[in-house]
Chain A
């Protein structure tokens, strides 16, 4: 246990074991207890991750890092792919976030999913996901990373389509899979490009080892291409524009899945990849700029869409996209200019870290609301739930303040750091600094919008007149039949039942709420996370100094407060204002409500032409098929004659054999016997 290399193996091993146990024993033995292996596996994995983090933190080395021995996965000629794990600060921070959220969400799921068929399946896939995600983070090699990358994609597909009998869920799963695959195709091309150029023209053995490639990266024309190709994968996985369309649909999956995969962990894999490859990206200012623009634009776009959505989970989904956009923006700001790389990448990962907690919390709270309301998620159909769901109310509020970036709460620290990084990029000597300044302004606006839509969702859900949809009474409550409570449907009710009974429901919410509130402060003040992340091997600069940018802090606080106040005014003090505003700018409202019609646009631009092409192919295929069938038909016609000799008579068979052997021998004798 004391050997850190053992820890490296143990972190993914626990979820893998849990997955195998659940998959094999779940349906026959564990049944409704199937959550135990997953919870225990995730918790043990979290313990190991924490130990890893602490031991890494304890190392005073400049680049604290652990390695395992590499096993040879496969070898082609002298090209060998090793399977090995490595951990540095970046990895450790990711691991802690992933496994901690995983544990909490697994506990929550045991309550959330308890009435579902396929209970063991859910937990088996969830464990598999945790295994893949930890493996992805620990991978020391691009091929291994890619394998785990696809592994998490697969788990995401399986979990979005968990209710595969529901057509919309199946379609959403397919969409997520295909869209991310589009990005992954770019990513594998990028990996190949890196491999091709990793030989350096010398007799180095070509390898895909992360460290080797990153250490030997040097500026050359291929770097920009390779970075952009890798970025394709990251953009697909992290739902950035233009491959963002899958994430809102992915909300078809169970809410814990949305919390774990589509908010806290998997979607951040893209951020992780770019951060991990930042030594490469730094070599190409163009690629950095693309990253920043994509991030900034996605953040703004998603925030604008989130302003008007009525589906609680959709709001959170767009907010996730928006926050991921922030992270990309930060990564893009990491120019080769002093400590900026370190600052930018650390800011992104720090935001990733805090975001994991409060977004998981928000999603779980939304899930809690959703189950209590009988799987109704439309915010127009319920309101004023603060009395009905007191715990959820408070935890959602904690998540909201953290997301909105109100001072001293988690989001504040990390978002401020991002702003700081972007501003420094704008002040740098880079030829693109004007663009960075524009992005900074857009980020400030986005931050204000974030606060607005977060609190809009909060007020719509928990304040106002108490309204509970009728589904709540025949879905959620056991022992409450539809007939027994006709009155509830009319809204006149004493609280009919306690919606929050289970510890499994409340515990994760409370723990995550505490984390969401204070993890940012704790990380900054107690733990010096930025300095710690700065020591990660990915960034090769001298010890970074921490400085506080009071201007940015003030600006972002003002922005967040403005959003908060506006939301309070529109939805709390004077409900109804929102409709008036919407009526005044109907076009804008409609575009936002319909998500800027990206789905339709893609439908026209991509799916339509593809369908036409498919029809052409089908026509062509019919011709080819006809020819193939014709070829198939001729043996059949021939066989019609040949089958006459298959008459079932033993002696006839023998006769045929002998006649032909005789003929053969006679020919042999006549031709060759002379």
Chain B
């Protein structure tokens, strides 16, 4: 028999982890997923309370959370797509225009990212069934 408090602890841990992720990760999609994880923590709480009190209200709340999360997902996706179209990047730090006038933008100048070793490019193969391109002087035209 697991008492209520244990579930609440798990919920709190998930909530806090999601919060830390939301604060630190800069990819907008990851930020969103972290927010969803916070919701998961809350959902655990609610379901545990439903069990504790012996009624279904907590579960119904969770259902509504899922509903709202779905709406949120739709809108967030749309927004992220639009933001991506403008800046060609998912980095949330590129959006700093709403700072105080005269304030310097915050740039990542402290630690340059080390160059990843370039992967060997895959060879481009001629698609099967089509004649390979020929040089101009060899053409029959």
A adjacent to B, CB under 8 Å:
yes
The stretch of B41-49, B54-62, B69-77, B97-105 that contacts the partner chain: B97-105
**Is there contact, CB below 8 Å, between A649 and B23?**
no
* Cα distance A658–B23 in the bound complex, in angstroms: 9
B106 within 8 Å of A (CB atoms): yes
The stretch of B2-10, B88-96, B118-126 that contacts the partner chain: B88-96
Q: Which residue of B lies closest to A654 (CB)?
A: B23
The stretch of A20-28, A36-44, A458-466, A640-648 that contacts the partner chain: A640-648
Contacts of B105 in A (CB 8 A): 648
B19 within 8 Å of A (CB atoms): yes
10 more contacts with CB within 8 A, not counting A646-B99, A647-B106, are A647-B103, A648-B95, A648-B99, A648-B103, A648-B105, A649-B96, A649-B106, A650-B92, A651-B26, A651-B93
Q: Which residue of B lies closest to A655 (CB)?
A: B23
Contacts of B92 in A (CB 8 A): 649-651
Interchain residue pairs with CB less than 8 A apart (8): A646-B99, A648-B97, A648-B98, A648-B103, A649-B96, A650-B95, A651-B23, A654-B23
* Cα distance A658–B24 in the bound complex, in angstroms: 12
Contacts of B22 in A (CB 8 A): 651, 654
**Is there contact, CB below 8 Å, between B103 and A649?**
no
Contacts of B26 in A (CB 8 A): 651
5 nearest A-B residue pairs (beta carbon): A648-B99, A648-B96, A643-B100, A646-B100, A648-B98
* Cα distance A502–B39 in the bound complex, in angstroms: 87
* Cα distance A264–B75 in the bound complex, in angstroms: 74
* Cα distance A584–B100 in the bound complex, in angstroms: 81
**Is there contact, CB below 8 Å, between A644 and B23?**
no
* Cα distance A654–B24 in the bound complex, in angstroms: 10
| Residue with the greatest number of chain B CB neighbours at <10 A, chosen from A647, A655, A658 | A647
| Residue with the greatest number of chain B CB neighbours at <10 A, chosen from A646, A648, A654, A655 | A648
* CB of A637 to closest CB in B, whole Å: 15
Contacts of A655 in B (CB 8 A): 23
* CB of B90 to closest CB in A, whole Å: 13
Contacts of B31 in A (CB 8 A): 651
Query: Which size class do B's interface residues fall under?
Result: 10 to 19
Contact with B along A635-669 (1 / 0, CB 8 A): 00000000110111111001100100000000000
Contacts of B106 in A (CB 8 A): 647, 649
The B contact surface, by secondary structure, is loop
Contacts of A658 in B (CB 8 A): 19, 23
Contact with A along B1-32 (1 / 0, CB 8 A): 00000000000000000010011101000010
* Cα distance A648–B93 in the bound complex, in angstroms: 9
Q: Which residue of A lies closest to B92 (CB)?
A: A650
* Cα distance A477–B118 in the bound complex, in angstroms: 95
* Cα distance A126–B78 in the bound complex, in angstroms: 62
* CB of A367 to closest CB in B, whole Å: 61
Contacts of B99 in A (CB 8 A): 646-649
Q: Which residue of B lies closest to A659 (CB)?
A: B23
Q: Which residue of A lies closest to B28 (CB)?
A: A650
* CB of A345 to closest CB in B, whole Å: 73
Query: Which size class do A's interface residues fall under?
Result: 10 to 19
Q: Which residue of B lies closest to A657 (CB)?
A: B23
* Cα distance A419–B15 in the bound complex, in angstroms: 101
**Is there contact, CB below 8 Å, between B93 and A649?**
yes
* Cα distance A430–B62 in the bound complex, in angstroms: 98
* Cα distance A649–B91 in the bound complex, in angstroms: 11
Q: Given A654-B22, A654-B23, A658-B19, verify A643-B95 contact (CB < 8 Å).
A: no
* CB of B65 to closest CB in A, whole Å: 20
Contacts of B93 in A (CB 8 A): 649, 651
Contacts of B19 in A (CB 8 A): 658
* Cα distance A651–B23 in the bound complex, in angstroms: 5
Contacts of A646 in B (CB 8 A): 99-100, 103
Q: Which residue of B lies closest to A653 (CB)?
A: B98
* CB of B21 to closest CB in A, whole Å: 11
* CB of B100 to closest CB in A, whole Å: 4
* CB of A382 to closest CB in B, whole Å: 67
Interface of chain B residues 99 through 136 with chain A (CB within 8 A):
99-100, 103, 105-106
* Cα distance A644–B19 in the bound complex, in angstroms: 23
Contacts of A648 in B (CB 8 A): 95-100, 103, 105
* CB of B42 to closest CB in A, whole Å: 15
Contacts of A643 in B (CB 8 A): 100, 103
* Cα distance A649–B104 in the bound complex, in angstroms: 12
Contacts of B95 in A (CB 8 A): 648, 650
* Cα distance A40–B109 in the bound complex, in angstroms: 82
**Is there contact, CB below 8 Å, between B96 and A644?**
no
* Cα distance A647–B22 in the bound complex, in angstroms: 18
Q: Which residue of A lies closest to B31 (CB)?
A: A651
Contacts of B98 in A (CB 8 A): 648
Contacts of A651 in B (CB 8 A): 22-24, 26, 31, 92-93
* CB of A653 to closest CB in B, whole Å: 10
**Is there contact, CB below 8 Å, between B96 and A647?**
yes
Contacts of A649 in B (CB 8 A): 92-93, 96, 99, 106
Contacts of A644 in B (CB 8 A): 103
* Cα distance A655–B93 in the bound complex, in angstroms: 14
Q: Which residue of B lies closest to A643 (CB)?
A: B100
* Cα distance A345–B24 in the bound complex, in angstroms: 92
Contacts of B24 in A (CB 8 A): 651
* Cα distance A643–B100 in the bound complex, in angstroms: 7
Q: Which residue of A lies closest to B103 (CB)?
A: A647
* CB of A564 to closest CB in B, whole Å: 81
* Cα distance A658–B34 in the bound complex, in angstroms: 15
Contacts of B100 in A (CB 8 A): 643, 646-648
* Cα distance A401–B125 in the bound complex, in angstroms: 121
Interface of chain A residues 616 through 649 with chain B (CB within 8 A):
643-644, 646-649
Contacts of A654 in B (CB 8 A): 22-23
* CB of B95 to closest CB in A, whole Å: 7
Contacts of B23 in A (CB 8 A): 651, 654-655, 658
* Cα distance A10–B31 in the bound complex, in angstroms: 73
* CB of B86 to closest CB in A, whole Å: 15
Contacts of B96 in A (CB 8 A): 647-649
* Cα distance A134–B13 in the bound complex, in angstroms: 81
* Cα distance A651–B22 in the bound complex, in angstroms: 8
Q: Which residue of A lies closest to B23 (CB)?
A: A655
* Cα distance A651–B91 in the bound complex, in angstroms: 11
* Cα distance A654–B103 in the bound complex, in angstroms: 19
Contact with B along A337-359 (1 / 0, CB 8 A): 00000000000000000000000
* Cα distance A655–B99 in the bound complex, in angstroms: 16
* Cα distance A647–B104 in the bound complex, in angstroms: 8
Q: Which residue of B lies closest to A642 (CB)?
A: B100
* CB of A668 to closest CB in B, whole Å: 16
